[in-house]
Structure 1
Amino acid sequence: MNLSGVVSCVHGVFGETVTLRPASGGRPLTGRARLQQPTHDILGNLVATDYALRYPVATFPNVQKGDRITIGRTDYLVRDVPQHLPDGLEAIAPLSKQF
């Protein structure tokens, strides 16, 4: 299995179903990705402070600032330009939870 296959497998097993709704009005895309949520360590210190979506670029190739992400019944807004990881197979998009 090549590295791209490994990335797809990891998101398939550990990811959640995600729907991307482009701000530009294109058609929605659905795939699997991993939501990173704010968490605390055992001593109560904040470890991660923001929501982010780690996703395979092959599944969501054109994520842009302003796009809407739905996971379950919760909506998120892509609040900045996604950062591609060094291997080019994944990216991380910073999110804002919509209430």
Structure 2
Amino acid sequence: MCSPGEPVELRHEPKNPADSNAIAVYSARGIQIGYVRAERAPLILLAMGRAGVSAIFQHKERWGATIRAHLDGSEPVLPPIADSRAADWPPPGSEDADWWPDEEWPD
């Protein structure tokens, strides 16, 4: 429903029966993709009333999605992509730095 870096809209739902601080997250296509976590909603609501909040979709998670939000009205950006394999590669003594193991068949 979203691509990394796409803007998402945060909408306060003061009449939400579960939580009057509820903030729904909508994709750029107007489809609701979830809610901001309840413990973070009050801080974000405060910022929404002041400088404004800008948010983007970062990536899909098993439990939902990660979004990046700036609480000062500035535009958030995606962090650099980190390749966890690169930190310990190539292994000591290896002469082929361009070879990467297959993640499904590591042997």
Q: Tell me whether the two structures share a fold, i.e. TM-score over 0.5.
A: no
Q: Where on the TM-score scale, by shorter chain, does this alignment land: which range?
A: under 0.3
Normalised by the size of structure 1, how large is the TM-score? 0.23
| Structure number, greater radius of gyration | 2
Structure that is richer in strand per residue: 1
Normalised by the size of structure 2, how large is the TM-score? 0.22
